């Protein structure tokens, strides 16, 4: 497999309010070193675009991705790999909610990518794995830490140390997925449903809630609750908070201006 090539297409929909990222590199969408860096570039562009409220990541064709370009690891200096691992987790640092729409294989760096998103939706035929152990490696883009926090340390150790796959139904039962749809058509309908729901909310409150969830989950409960209280109080000063209260009292749909 080549160490360069491939693309992460960026297209906008819903009047520019949704940024759609598509992994595009052959039948298996192998993620090259070039694509890892491109992921960070795409998110830098998205994060700077105030019109974008929601991000969706997909794989082109029948598979999300079979994983990374294995040969390419030997062409990158060891320390430089830390940057590439950082790049692939750009969704976790985005202030905007990021949805992963997964169909087919989601292996290696692909699973690490979706673990760094906020909402994971998949088809029932999808499967997940961190198979690096089979190659004398280990996950290097957040896989050990994020998977253990999502499905528990015991399950994560089993699947990382053995490299065995996780079925879509298991992923759903264990909380790795939010939903699992019958097929790709149903998946896209579910993505649209979730996107439409999020677009109906204030982007300011979505951004604030994401930050509180991400920062609070790994700290002491008291610290997380304090962060939540102060963030709620901060939202009280926004125009969208006032609009939400007014709309509730007037029994109408709120018209948020994201400020």
Q: Which sequence positions are flagged as catalytic?
A: 112, 132
Q: How far apart are alpha carbons 250 and 22 in whole angstroms?
A: 41
Residue whose token pair is 């790994």: 218
**Among 147, 148, 43, 28, CA closest to 88:** 43
Q: In the structure encoding, which two tokens stand for residue 1, read together?
A: 């497999």
DSSP calls for 68-111: B-TGGGGGS-TTHHHHHHHHHTHHHH-SS-EEEEE-SEEETHHH
Q: How many secondary structure helices (H) and strands (E) does the chain include?
A: 11, 9
Distances (CA, A) of 43 to 25, 117, 152, 194, 223: 19, 12, 29, 20, 29
Which residues pair with residue 106 across a beta bridge? 65, 128
Residue 233: DSSP 8-state: H
Is residue 69 within 8 A of residue 26, CB to CB? The reply is: no
User: In the chain, what are the helix, strand and coil shares in percent, each to the nearest 5?
Assistant: 50, 15, 35
Q: How far apart are alpha carbons 216 and 225 in whole angstroms?
A: 8
The CB density around residue 110, as the number of other CB atoms within 10 Å, is 30
């Amino acid at each position: 497999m080549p160490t360069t090539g491939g693309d992460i297409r960026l297209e906008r929909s819903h009047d520019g309010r949704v940024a759609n990222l598509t992994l595009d590199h052959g039948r298996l969408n192998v993620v090259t070193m070039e694509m890892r860096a491109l992921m960070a570039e795409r998110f830098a562009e998205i994060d700077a675009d105030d019109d974008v409220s929601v991000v969706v990541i997909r794989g082109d064709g029948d598979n999300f991705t079979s994983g990374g370009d294995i040969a390419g690891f030997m062409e990158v200096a060891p320390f430089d790999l830390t940057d590439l691992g950082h790049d692939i987790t750009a969704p976790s640092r985005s202030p905007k909610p990021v949805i992963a729409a997964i169909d087919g294989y989601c292996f290696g760096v692909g699973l690490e990518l979706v673990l760094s998103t906020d909402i994971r939706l998949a088809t029932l035929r999808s499967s997940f794995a961190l198979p690096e152990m089979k190659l004398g490696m280990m996950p290097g883009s957040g896989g050990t830490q994020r998977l253990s926090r999502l499905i528990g340390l015991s399950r994560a150790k089993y699947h990382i140390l053995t490299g065995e796959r996780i079925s879509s139904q298991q992923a759903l039962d264990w909380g790795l997925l939010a939903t699992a749809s019958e097929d790709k058509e149903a998946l896209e309908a579910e993505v649209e449903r979730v996107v439409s729901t999020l677009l109906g909310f204030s982007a300011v409150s979505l951004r604030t809630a994401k930050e509180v969830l991400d920062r609070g989950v790994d700290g002491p409960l008291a610290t997380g609750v304090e962060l939540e209280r102060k963030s709620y109080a901060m939202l009280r000063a926004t125009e969208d908070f006032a609009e939400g209260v007014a709309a509730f009292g007037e029994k109408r749909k709120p018209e948020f201006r994201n400020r």
